[in-house]
Amino acid sequence: MQKKKSLWPYQNRSLKNLPGEQWKDIPGFEGLYEISSLGRIKSLRRWRGAGFDRGYYTKESIRKQNARRRKNQLLKEYTYTIANSLTKDGKSISRYTSRYVYSAFVAPFDLDDKTRMISYRDCNGRNLHYRNLFLTTKSDIQKRSYRLKRSQPEFVKHSLPVRQLTMEGRIVAHYASLKEAEEKTGIIFSAIAACIDGRIYQSHGFRWDSLAKKKSYLLPEAGLKQYFNEYLWKMLGKPRTSQKSPIASLNLNPESMKGEKWKSIEGLEGAFLVSNVGRVKGIPRFKQGEKHVWTKGMVKRLIPDGKEGKPTSCLLVQLTKNGKKYQQSVARLVYHHFVKKIDLGDKMLRIGYKNGKCYDLNWRNLFIQ
């Protein structure tokens, strides 16, 4: 028998008091809500008018609260803050639960003063017991975080040695630190750091990397690459496929598939390619009119022409020409470039699918209806 997962007090929505739990009015919401010494919020029984002298009494209930989490990149673990939204006079007010607990059970303070912050003695934002809370400032929180080795001071981050490269990979210069690179090039250190961490490809026409043995922790790690278009798969009715070897139109891997051939899209040479199996790829390039904005080459996500609940008849791709975005049928692009040239703007001309599957965009499966 599977063991039941233990709950934090704020997750327990039973009206029965927990051991040692006490209740007080939430400051500013007297008669509407109460807060407990463990961080639970109770919505009180009260009259709710429904017009024409009608209405009803609400029932007491324990409110569901939202846990917001953020990953600590240095410790590789998540930190949590618990928040809620309460209503008064028709207006919704969102605050962290810890502020209500501290104000009610430790000492009252201005809940709207953003310079006064609540922190946690055990560094666990899910432990809302009033004895675990203390009033502090953002500066003191940062100093405590350094002392507990939960984050690194800026001077440590700035000490990373870096090198500057051309877009082709030729080394331009070496710098002892990010600060030195910023001072000598005029490029802000955060942009250089973003290049090092792989968040952007280049900055001001240069690529950057670090020669440090330690992995950079300047910015959050990029998420795992998603090479499967799950949204489109669901919209198509979840056709039989595999994430390791998906249907071509669902495959976002930039590597070419077996037998796949690419051609420049007519009128968009140097910007986009289309393949004989129905994939569209952007070409790595500087954006039009921009000297310092570099776009990565990636396979475009295809989108269905139908809305949710309606059948899909063809797949579309979003392209950009002269700074303007527009959508184009991928089947038309494949037929035009690999079967026979057609007028891509002729709305009377329709592309059919020999096997009846609009997501099979292989050029051999297409014909003109």
Residues 128 and 171 placed together within one structural domain of the fold:
no
Q: What is the 3-state secondary structure (H, E, C) of 264-287?
A: ECCCCCCCEEEECCCCEEECCEEC
pLDDT at 48: 77
Comparing 41 with 162, the larger pLDDT belongs to: 41
How many whole angstroms separate alpha carbon 272 and alpha carbon 16? 62
Beta bridge partners of 79: 70
Residue 41 in domain: yes
Residues 333 and 238 placed together within one structural domain of the fold:
yes
Range(s) of the domain holding residue 204: 158-210
- Token pair listed for 360: 């099979």
Residues 313 and 246 placed together within one structural domain of the fold:
yes
Amino acid, res. 119: S
Residue-wise pLDDT for 270-322, tens only, equals 788 999 999 999 887 665 555 555 566 788 889 888 766 667 788 999 888 88
Residue-wise pLDDT for 30-76, tens only, equals 999 999 999 999 999 888 777 777 888 889 999 999 999 998 878 88
Provide the mean pLDDT of the chain: 84
Indicate whether 116 pLDDT > 50.
yes
Residues 133 and 242 placed together within one structural domain of the fold:
no
pLDDT at 308: 62
pLDDT at 237: 86
Residues 171 and 301 placed together within one structural domain of the fold:
no
Residues 62 and 185 placed together within one structural domain of the fold:
no
Residues 166 and 82 placed together within one structural domain of the fold:
no
pLDDT at 21: 96
pLDDT at 119: 96
- Confidence class for position 218, pLDDT limits 50, 70, 90: very low
Residue-wise pLDDT for 164-203, tens only, equals 988 777 889 999 888 888 889 988 877 887 787 766 777 8
Mean pLDDT confidence for 201-226? 58
Using alpha carbons only, give the angle 191, 192, 196 rounded to the nearest 5 degrees. 115
Identify the sign of the CA torsion 119, 121, 127, 132: negative
pLDDT at 324: 84
Q: Which of 124, 147, 170 is the last residue of a domain?
A: 147
The total number of structural domains in the chain stands at: 3
Residues 296 and 364 placed together within one structural domain of the fold:
yes
DSSP 251: B
Query: Torsions phi, psi of 244, nearest 5?
Result: -75, -35
CATH number at residue 195: 1.10.10.10
Residue-wise pLDDT for 127-140, tens only, equals 999 999 999 998 89
How many whole angstroms separate alpha carbon 99 and alpha carbon 237? 46
CATH number at residue 119: 3.90.75.20
Residues 340 and 247 placed together within one structural domain of the fold:
yes
Residues 197 and 239 placed together within one structural domain of the fold:
no
Residues 50 and 80 placed together within one structural domain of the fold:
yes
Residues 268 and 360 placed together within one structural domain of the fold:
yes
Comparing 103 with 369, the larger pLDDT belongs to: 103
pLDDT cut 70: percent of the chain above it: 87
Read off the pTM.
Answer: 0.48
Q: Which of 147, 166, 185 is the last residue of a domain?
A: 147
pLDDT at 220: 36
How many whole angstroms separate alpha carbon 18 and alpha carbon 344? 68
- Confidence class for position 93, pLDDT limits 50, 70, 90: very high
pLDDT at 219: 36
